[in-house]
Structure 1
């Protein structure tokens, strides 16, 4: 998929895959023994990467085939549009490639259908090479095992407007780092500006409930749990913020683009972003750029949210040793690092984020943001449950909207959201 997108996982609906579906092995027979000789043919599928990175992957495959004589990797690249449907069709038809580029929400139905190899069984020796949070990101609630090698990561810092903080009597060098600090600062900002300056332009999402410390799912992975005391507390505070204009009055209909515009015009004091935003500020809003501050995402847990891509091995592959070896090769420290230097993403391998590329300032905006993001990724987690579909995001948003408008209590809103999401979860099978 397009790497430039901040949310690396595309919107997908539930994939209902028959448990009897065969993989590329045709008759469903596949070995889980990865210790054999690395040789023979495999098929490798990426997600909308050929247009921009053909030379990189051609070189990667050539180097792998040189390292392992007698191997041949056929690379196929699928467009972003309809990728989930393509995976579903391949899974049902027994034509799923041996190694597949996935995100956690895409690997979940494949794992449930028995089509994603459990790497805790076949590739456990590689686990220590990756950041713990990245390895855990392709674990499925209610199932044991890990179902994809972690590949590239992404996250973004929070930008804040130092001038607006100063005008509100807040220390521009000490932005909020917890939700309590955020809400206190936001209420003061609204009061001091007479309601003209909000601090945030977005309503809380599932990631916010995770960062706040709410439970997201039960341990069995059979139901959602963000309507617990912490979840209700968060939504109650957002309601207070909304009533006092600390949350932008148009937040109920906000998109990432509209929220970004609010920050650009200095109508809100904080907004998540990336290095690309800094360049935009520099040209489109020089006064904002002059006062820009960069800080970590707001969190009560000490762990920021990350987005992650992975490399899944088809459990029905006829060539387990080569498929596992290639998936590991694509995602090892050396190749993740080389890929990260071609595009604004981050490696998921342990120690890679200590490279000078991610730690040494050079005075550029791009490097400022890269260093800030890399630092926060070392112990980041993916707060979005792998089973949380786009329909569930919509259900949560609708109920949150009602709570903020005073049409129902925060508790009732989250109870209704959990009920709706649980029903959608049952439909996934």
Structure 2
């Protein structure tokens, strides 16, 4: 099952391949890693498609920081979502990368390899305890030591399920599946009872599914992928069984979030990831579904759901390391993350913040129901998407998964081919 990326700017995340030779080699920072000096100087802060909706928030954030540190001046620049990865690549190559940059893990990886991302384990270790373990770890790069961005806002999505369809299939509507083993059993029963009319799932497995199932995604050195291990093959074999039994929607190979949403709306699919916005849609367009809606965590056999994370990176070549680190921390500290989270449906990455009544106390509204469910699961969530896993790699995996489900290749052969293709692409990243 795929949880669609619903973070503010991350909907269009693309892999960025920097011309590393133009940026310097790994470990060649060219600047100071000492953030203990006086917080002063002019710095630039770049965000990712946030000005249109959140200008007052960021204007206030900058003003408050400058008031706290009178010797500083922060110039805030915002880049559009389209072409953001290319813009970062061009700035990195041209030596014009801002001092503090809004990044996702896949964008920070090539910058870290090029020596352009400050290692916060060295420069800002004192702040480490302020953040959730999984969030801090999300900006570590396989094969490298260090952490290369402060974690900022998080997101995840609960699963919706149709209690009525569960009931009709003889399943307990108040005990939805929580592990993949339970999911597979329930899905096959749903398909049998409905004579193939109702599928439980509408998406093929993605790399996040392999992670949540317990497959090893990459080797520890970050030099090769490994999701063709026994666990990975087992997962894809199970999906093939679901596909043959129509427990996986026949159109899953070409599914989009929109198409799966429509199938869930019409009762052709029993489970689907979503958000509070979907609940409002159910209420308006499918009142019967809304009356029977169930909310549960993502399926996982590891005990940890998948999360999406945004980060704030410090340019290792900034001339004002102390100011840049102080500002990156300020943007992502508990108080400012809570303030931002109350303006939009995201979650703070700071330790303890998810225990705030805003994320824990029911008030009877649909939006709060979903927010509480997501916040609870995020406390121990993991970013399963490897930071080095590009969009091209996602396509390669999807193509091989499709061949396995259609019976053109065995699950083992399909994953072997996918891993080989991803390894080739990895080598091209440098």
TM-score by length of 1: 0.97
Corresponding residue SS for 2:20: coil
Corresponding residue of 2:194? 193
Which residue of structure 2 lines up, in the alignment, with residue 295 of structure 1? 296
In 2, distance between residues paired with 1:136 and 1:380?
11
**What are the residue-to-residue correspondences of 1:29-68 with 2, within 5 Å?**
29-68=30-69
Say if 1:9 and 1:309, in contact at 8 Å, map to a contact too.
no
User: What does residue 132 of structure 2 align with?
Assistant: 131
Secondary structure (helix, strand or coil) at the match of 2:128 reads helix
Distance 1:141 1:257 in 2: 34
SS at match of 2:152: strand
Give the CA deviation at 1:30: 1.5
Alignment root-mean-square deviation, CA: 1.5
1: CA distance, partners of 2:20 / 2:171? 57
**1:338 equivalent in alignment to 2:339:** yes
1:381 aligns with 2:382: yes
Runs of 4+ in 1 over 2 A off after TM superposition: 3-11, 16-23
SS at match of 1:126: helix
Distance (whole Å) between structure 1 residues aligned to residue 238 and residue 30 of structure 2: 54
Aligned to 1:12: 14
- State the 1:46 CA deviation: 0.2
Q: Do residues 21 (structure 1) and 23 (structure 2) align?
A: yes
Tell me which residue corresponds to 2:264.
263
Contact 2:297 2:373 in 1 (8 A): yes
CA-CA distance at 1:11 after TM superposition: 3.2
* Gap change, CA 1:268 and 1:412, over 3 Å in 2: same
TM-superposed deviation, 1:80: 0.5
Q: Distance in 2 between matches of 1:115 and 1:17?
A: 12
Counterpart mapping for 1:75-224 below 5 A: 75-224=76-225
Deviation sequence 1:269-313 (CA, Å, 0-9, x none) = 000000111011000111100000000000000000000000000
Q: What's the counterpart of residue 358 of structure 1?
A: 359
Equivalent residues of 1:238, 1:247 under 8 A apart? yes
Distance 1:319 1:291 in 2: 56
Question: 1-side partners of 2:104 and 2:31: how far apart?
Answer: 23
Structure 2 segments unaligned to the other structure (5+ residues):
none
Q: Measure how far apart 1:70 and its partner are.
A: 1.2
The DSSP-based 3-state class of the residue aligned with 1:347 is coil
In structure 1, distance between residues paired with 2:24 and 2:319: 11
Task: Identify the residue that residue 348 of structure 2 maps to in structure 1.
Answer: 347
- Are the counterparts in 2 of residues 8 and 154 from structure 1 also a CA contact under 8 Å? no
Mapped partners of 1:352, 1:223: distance in 2: 36
